[in-house]
Amino acid sequence: MKKTTIVLALLVPAAFFAGKMLTSPAPVAPTYAPEVSYGGAATSNGSSVGNAKKSVINAAPTGIVHQVKDGELIMDAVKAANPGDVIQVWPGTYTETVYIDKDNIRLSGVIIEGKRPKLFGDGHLNDAILYSGNNIVVENFLITKYKGNGIMGQAGNNFEIRNNIIEDTGVYGIFPQLGDNGIVEHNVVSGIEDAAIYIGMSDHIHVANNEVFDSVAGIEIENSRHAIVENNFVHHNTGGVLAFVTPGLPIKDTVDVIIRNNWISDNNTKNFGAVGSMVAGIPAGTGILIMAADKVIIEDNLILNNKTAGIIITDHQNAPNATLDPESDPTPDEIMILNNLMHNNGYDTITDAKVLLSTEFKQGNPDIVQVGGINNSCINNAQQYVTVGVSKWPACSFSNTDSVISYLLDTPAAPRSVAATDKGKYAYLGICTGCHAYTGRLIGPPVQVIQSLYMDDPKALADYIANPVKKREDYPFMPKQDYLDAETRLAVAEYLLSVKK
């Protein structure tokens, strides 16, 4: 993996360099605790116990069991399966890409005396498991040495990804994209060039009891709504837990995220993200990073030994490698910091953070750094931390989120049904936007650049999607999307070339 050094991390507001400090009224504290509480068990005092639900599918398998043994192909079983079937994969090594485009399939590894089925990319395959179906379970696999993704969801609702070990799978480890109602739990993910667990443009998500390490981003909630990240061990990444709004994507906001009861420590790994990408701008030593997201609660986390800062909060204007989107609100609103144990953060912070501290006549190692615009935010027990940018924040009007067990839906989300005329649209939303924003760089070039290159030639773009070649040294190699049929590749090429924002 190509590693790069990150130079720019936080930008001091322009008013400071002009010799002036902008003044604004003190933010108003949010006057509510989160109101939404779905399903699950609770103790007598109302606090949550473990995950909210054991399943988001709410239906036992109704079909037959297909058994796959070492030396056979998992894809043969997928092709033979019908909705409601279970595919059991026995220990062995499977060098293939598994693509599930059917609903109600359970892909389940069989673990015998600690041995799991191993999906092995051999350093040249792009993706291990891709699913576009609804009501999908993926569990109990060891996945390693792929170039693209470990497990990627492509516009499928009601998913469960659990109990997998994922190592060195390129851009993303676990990546549900454009899905509603999903659980990601009890996975161990490491060695990822972007995000170990990346929730993209999804709603009603529960990320719990995972261990993520040795990656650029540990857990990232991007352009998603109604997500809880809890009870995870997040360590030795560049940045631990992120709640982002990435400009240029079809979904324009990140709203209603609870980050609680996580152990977030020693996230000081040198940033080795793709040069120019948004994650390449994360300063090594970041515990939690909030960028332009709204209604984010940070509660009861152990945030330790992150050398730049325990928590960084920024708007788009002050975020590195971010371009502005006129349809996205660039300012974070209603960030709520409750009780967190923070220790030994900011001990080797960057110069920009030191300058920000000096503007408030403070010294010390910053636990919390807030830069740029922000609205209606609050913090409890502020005196416990070394902070910059939050001195005017009032105390929050509540102390915990015990009443919020989960944002998962009481009943499964309606299956996403894609008409033939919408194939291109949903392939674009579920696949392309994982790496391509309309404006600005995500992983690959912006959609506007692709449109200028191919203009009125969707056939050429469809051919490139099936068999890409590296054209520019400053962008990573694009994974093949040849698992998509020719009709879908042409449809997505036509849609991509016609999209306006």
Question: What are the sequence ranges of the domains in the chain?
Answer: 32-50+158-413, 57-143, 420-498
Asked if 383 and 344 touch (Cβ cutoff 8 Å), the reply is no
Q: Give 313's pLDDT tier (boundaries 50, 70, 90).
A: very high
Mean pLDDT, range 398-402, rounded to an integer: 96
- Output phi, psi for 212, to 5 deg: -130, 135
Q: What is the pLDDT of residue 33?
A: 52
Q: Inform me whether the pLDDT recorded for 247 exceeds 90.
A: no
Residue spans of alpha helices (H) in 303-446: 351-359, 423-430
Q: What is the pLDDT of residue 37?
A: 36
Mean pLDDT, range 467-471, rounded to an integer: 79
Give DSSP secondary structure letters for 121-174. -TTT--EEEEE-SSSEEEES-EEES-SSEEEEEES--SEEEES-EEE--TTEEE
Mean pLDDT, range 404-428, rounded to an integer: 83
Asked if 133 and 109 touch (Cβ cutoff 8 Å), the reply is no
Distances (CA, A) of 433 to 55, 364, 382, 416: 28, 41, 39, 18
Mean pLDDT, range 171-197, rounded to an integer: 97
Task: Quick: pLDDT tens for 80-139.
Answer: 999 999 999 999 999 999 999 999 999 999 999 999 999 999 999 999 999 999 999 999
Q: What is the pTM of this model?
A: 0.84
For 420-498, CATH number out of 3.90.1150.10, 3.20.20.70, 3.40.50.720, 1.10.760.10 equals 1.10.760.10
Q: What is the pLDDT of residue 24?
A: 38
Give the best-scoring range by mean pLDDT among 44-53, 58-67, 403-412: 403-412
Task: Quick: pLDDT tens for 361-399.
Answer: 998 999 999 999 999 999 999 999 999 999 999 999 999
Q: What is the pLDDT of residue 483?
A: 77
Give DSSP secondary structure letters for 51-102. -S-S-SS-----S-EEEE-TTS-HHHHHHH--TT-EEEE-SEEE-S-EEE-S
Question: What tokens were used for 431?
Answer: 């696949």
Other beta carbons less than 10 A from residue 28's beta carbon = 13
> Tokens 């709004």 map to which residue?
245
What percentage of the chain carries pLDDT values higher than 90?
A: 63
Question: What tokens were used for 41?
Answer: 């068990």
Q: What is the pLDDT of residue 492?
A: 79
> Tokens 């092709």 map to which residue?
79
> In the chain, what is the greatest distance between 2 CA atoms, to the nearest angstrom?
72
Q: Which residue has the higher pLDDT, 20 or 87?
A: 87
Type of residue numbered 27: P
